[in-house]
A and B are shown apart, each in its own frame.
Chain A
Amino acid sequence: MHEGSIPIVNAMSDPAAAVPVLEVSGLRTRFGPLRAVDGVSFAVAPGETLCIVGESGSGKSTVALSIMGLIPPAAGRVEAGSIHLAGHGELRGLADAAMAAIRGRAMGMIFQEPMTSLNPVFKVGTQIAEVVRRHQGMSRAAAHDRAVELLRLVGVPSPQMRALDYPHQLSGGMRQRVMIAMAIACDPMLILADEPTTALDVTIQAQILALIEELKQRLGSGIVFITHDLRVVAQIAQTVCVMYAGVVVESATTRALLRTPLHPYTSGLMASIPAAQPRGTRRRLPVIAGTVPNLAKLPGGCRFRSRCPKAFDLCAEVEPPLAPPAKGDPDRLVRCWLHADGVAA
């Protein structure tokens, strides 16, 4: 519960890494009595992909919406913490108009549902052109040319013709490419991707992941990629934050996390990835029993303990801090008593 005082670990252990593009610390977002995000801190360097992993209800999408300032005011609000975007300073508390000028220009977001995220009554070229016209004051003709160029950049075949299509004339993968074109239209330094491949089939998913990787190389942006799929994490992320019930339970470099998951929740997630198995050796896919606890009335102690196979007395009494593990890599963080200093495991 002392996230504010915990040093932010930039798990990308590159000392030459520039100032982080995005620094989030102690972020708390509430929906009425629901503490959806309860003290989350992380940082993203330019050219880095940070994955936020967790199951539904862990608060990972709320983190992205909080950064964008898109939490609907009628439903909830960002209560505490700081969101620092390089070159724009503190985003929390910015006026609506100032925030709108940053959205789409300094940071872009890609959504989960490409089928419904485009306006059905406008041509996709017009929709892309509108973004550059708004932020860069381009003329109508110049903006249209830029839209075609962006469509080519995101790998849409015959972009000149596709720019004149309406969203319903495009497939899901193509629409997601259009959404990506809109998000990167103004070369944002930060891209937030909220499960951008979840609604797509596997081959398209691989193409979109490759595209996002390629664009990151080209633009040098930092990416916050939200997913529940650890296989996606393995493909694209340098750093991972595992979220559970509104808090980060483990954060590390992708390599370290996938090789030796420390938190029992992370281990559970990894064990429940289905793998191809030879005939005759089929076994039941392990699952993490239970569901995410009710965020409106969390019991004391560790949030994961009711589902944790290794829970012991202390877990029910005090919530473990997010801290470097007692043994092992001091660059990673874990929120578990099993790995805390001076506590017998």
Chain B
Amino acid sequence: MTGMLAFLRFLLGTRRHMALLGLAVIAVFLAAALLAPLLYSWPSATLVNLGHALARPSLAFPLGADEMGRDMIARLVWGARMSLIVAGASVGVALLLGLLIGGLCGYYDNRASFITMRAMDAIISFPRILVAIMLITILGPGATSLTLAIAISSVPVFARLFRGPILSLKSRDFVLASRSLGAGDMRLLFRHVMPNISALIIVQGSISLAEAVLIASGLSFLSLGPQPPVPEWGAMIAQSRAHLLSTPHVVLVPGIALFVLVLALNLVGDGLRDFADPKSGHAGPRVAS
């Protein structure tokens, strides 16, 4: 909480208006996602009502209705919930696994960690989306397998990113000093060494969120995500794309929402990166070299 306040003060103090704007946009999306069940009922977002098919924006349908007559704004809000849950959960799982693998492989610089890291390299050599598609093919489409696919396809990137600093941190004097005071290997790695890269973890996590939102929508567009009638932005674009020329709003609404959210996440990620950069000359958290 104090970290969040320090970040806000940093953004205000250094006049990073774009990052502040991004933060505000994310807050709006987050609120919409959290309050979705209160704002719009699940049936209003999923039940077909062909009487209103492709309705233009009006008082009854602020953002119009899609080709099945479903309220676009209800679907947009429920879609935000889906996107943020999938992105958040996948980045969370990926960070945990990445820290575990990267941490252990950095701390124990032996044959097993060498083999593990080469396996990570092998996975990285495939495009991420291809790895994710392969995993979903095995797991079957749906929100859970979408989350897992995105998580697993980003683990190697995290593992490699976190291994470097752990490798250099473990030879620092304070690790030997802690050991001389009776700390064991696991305590050293997770309690003494890892907190030194917390800034790196936060920055990388925030930037990865944007990527996860984008990949989730991309996979849903290919109908590899949650299945109809569950609202998901990528799936909404895919279902309505036939009407792009006649009633553009059905495609533009989820498209713009996606664009704005990803942009906002990136802007905040950039802000966090500057916040954690020791060269920016303020008293924020430090990324250990």
Contact = CB atoms under 8 A, between A and B. Distances in A.
Contact of B173 (A103, A113, A183): A113
B44 interface: no
Contact of A70 (B179, B184, B196): B179
Nearest to A168: B286
B183 interface: yes
B174 interface: yes
Interface string B177-198: 1111111110100001001101
Interface stretch (A45-53, A118-126, A262-270): A118-126
Contacts of A97: 184
B176 interface: yes
A103 B180 contact: yes
A111 B173 contact: yes
A122 B285 CA distance: 12
B196 A121 contact: yes
Nearest to B175: A119
Nearest to A194: B180
A111 B176 contact: yes
B103 to A, nearest CB: 15
A39 interface: no
A182 interface: yes
Specify which of B109, B183, B286 lies most central, judged by the most chain A CB atoms within 10 Å of its CB.
B183
Interface in B183-226: 183-185, 187, 192, 195-196, 198
A117 B174 contact: yes
A74 B110 CA distance: 9
B196 A104 contact: no
B182 A135 contact: yes
A104 B174 contact: no
Nearest to B179: A70
Given A116-B174, A120-B174, A108 B184 contact: no
A118 B174 contact: yes
B198 A104 contact: no
B288 interface: yes
A68 interface: yes
B174 to A, nearest CB: 5
A119 B182 contact: no
B184 A109 contact: no
A134 B182 contact: yes
Contacts of B187: 134
Contacts of B178: 119
B184 A116 contact: no
Interface in A91-132: 96-97, 100-105, 108-109, 111, 113, 116-122, 131
A179 B173 CA distance: 12
Nearest to A74: B109
Interface residues of A, number: 29
A97 B183 CA distance: 9
B182 A109 contact: no
Contacts of A104: 180-183
B172 interface: yes
Contacts of B179: 70, 100, 103
Nearest to B288: A120
B195 A105 contact: no
A137 to B, nearest CB: 13
A119 B180 CA distance: 13
Contacts of A103: 179-182
A108 B178 CA distance: 11
Contacts of A100: 179, 182-184
A231 B241 CA distance: 85
Contacts of B173: 111, 113, 116-117
B127 to A, nearest CB: 36
A179 B178 CA distance: 10
Given A70-B176, A111-B177, A120 B286 contact: yes
Contact of A108 (B109, B174, B176, B181): B181
Specify which of A116, A121, A183 lies most central, judged by the most chain B CB atoms within 10 Å of its CB.
A121
Interface in A276-295: none
Contact of B198 (A111, A121, A135, A183): A121
A131 B181 contact: yes
Contact of B181 (A74, A116, A121, A182): A182
A105 B181 CA distance: 7
Specify which of B172, B179, B196, B288 lies most central, judged by the most chain A CB atoms within 10 Å of its CB.
B179
B19 to A, nearest CB: 24
Contacts of B195: 119, 121-122
A68 B174 contact: no
Specify which of A68, A102, A119 lies most central, judged by the most chain B CB atoms within 10 Å of its CB.
A119
Interface of B: 109, 172-174, 176-185, 187, 192, 195-196, 198, 286, 288
26 contacts: A70-B176, A96-B185, A97-B184, A103-B180, A103-B181, A103-B182, A104-B180, A104-B183, A105-B182, A108-B181, A109-B180, A111-B176, A116-B172, A116-B174, A118-B177, A119-B174, A119-B178, A119-B192, A119-B196, A121-B195, A121-B286, A131-B181, A134-B182, A182-B181, A183-B180, A183-B181
Interface of A: 68, 70, 74, 96-97, 100-105, 108-109, 111, 113, 116-122, 131, 134-135, 179, 182-183, 185
The 9 closest A-B pairs by CB, nearest first: A104-B182, A104-B181, A116-B173, A109-B180, A117-B177, A103-B182, A117-B173, A119-B174, A121-B195
Given A70-B179, A119-B196, 6 more contacts: A96-B184, A101-B182, A108-B180, A116-B172, A121-B196, A134-B187
